A and B are shown apart, each in its own frame.
Chain A
């Protein structure tokens, strides 16, 4: 998502600066995002050409067809004569459009490729709300942001308060859309800082050979902030408008891994906060409180609170309600003259989990399908979301399923099912005679009936910690009752994985590699260790109980520690382990103060905790996975 941003922005990439250094200039030609014309009107003309009546009735199919061809990358493999003609026609159309566009824009666009045009009519961009009323975000929040900006406009730059507004919320809740709409409403222009496409490693190797230093996104951001501090916004384009009516937008903060770079980012933002004169919006993505990103979200929380302490104004956006999304989707359907079943829209809206961007993309993708109505018939029979998900798992094929996949759980479950069922070829254990390495019998296995596990993982967007926790929770169900040895081998690999996944201050650079290595070890360990998987049973894939345990543990620990406060008789501080292992059991025996005011931790058992907090994912529990 977020592949194409709104084109009505002026992109201040750190590389299009006046004092372009040699290191950035090389990359400029390669990867600086194409400049787009700031005038919104132009874009509208382009897009309206697609939905013009002349194309609509007959050409819409072609249009769709072409787009789907583009999407699947099949343009080059066309064979039929008729198809060829059509392709030519559309390529031609493309070029014409392109030329017009270039003419409009007044500067040359080099790429006349299908993906650049495909990019332009991403509905997400096309239907970016242009006025406040269209924004699907809750009115109150929009109002809050708007009044903040109005305040900033009134009281000029010399205001002692900070000029930074902090907007947080999960992806696709309309953070930047709100900024754009508000800016548009107030007649301000938005300047967005965007990082150049990250340098890939090979490029870096190449560059370093030619004496150019590698700059991470964080580096770029640092130098950007540095420049802001020193010169303010000095961009040629800025001279036209008065600085008072400019909004600086920082979306897409650099991702940081590890303490050191995190500290840098924080320092950087802090500097920005103190020095920036323009009203500035910093958008922060909440990644949810997923267990796998615990460390990470702690960083972000701390970051946000420190920015707030320094005077930034914070607004939190909640996920967009399904109804709002439905309204937006219906509107798009109306504009696109697309006939889509209400239930279908309902389904998309609900499965997007409040991410409007993903919902729109799903809608568009879906409309490209050759026979959308056929697929819909499957859905007609079901009404509420959780059940839908279950039935779909088995009935819908991946291609239909994936675009809804804001929630990666489904595809993840496919992958987990594959790993756990561990289907193998029968027959000879040695795949080919050319394999010269001879293994002892206990180490050799039949070839697995699936793609490379890494590939499967990657397709399922499996995060290492998540996958490991799931495997750990479920793998014992699939191990043969006799094979305790196998259970140990699997357990040993999972134990290895845990070590790999433990963040260490010394290896923060290698964290990404470690993540994939860990996932690999976990998955392959499970595949290798389980020599004779149970095959003929149906198994529910459970959600890891471990997560509940961790939370209850934290809770109980705090409770034990806080009980020290009430305890005025003992004049000393015991560690929680002493309290838990010695005092609590004794107190229980003594019946001493275990009354109402002091609940023994045992009673906060995890059975109870199991019940609450699980509801969100309950549907997952009964999710039967068939063997494939």
Chain B
């Protein structure tokens, strides 16, 4: 009991001492950000439009659409290229692999799902080739 009490209290003490010493050593605290600055409605400050208000993914999507990219998350199906070994259909991803689905023929009733890996062209069982290329993350500012 005594041992566990000592462990707990020394742990708490050590942590608070470490944190406060680090805080003291790193200079005066930064100024608090006023979250509501410029956001109070007045005659010239009203309900904003989406671009003046959004943050995060929501903003990313809006900016992408503004820049002419109407599919920033690559949710839409892409058209197959020639699909030979020399000219495969290029699929992009920032990751090492991506799951794709091939609609082998126009009247196919099923989709063939498979993984494509970077640097390793893949052939669907129907004969078309796919290749995974880098997709640099697009920044919109």
| Chains A and B form a bound pair | no
Interface residues of A (CB under 8 A from B): none
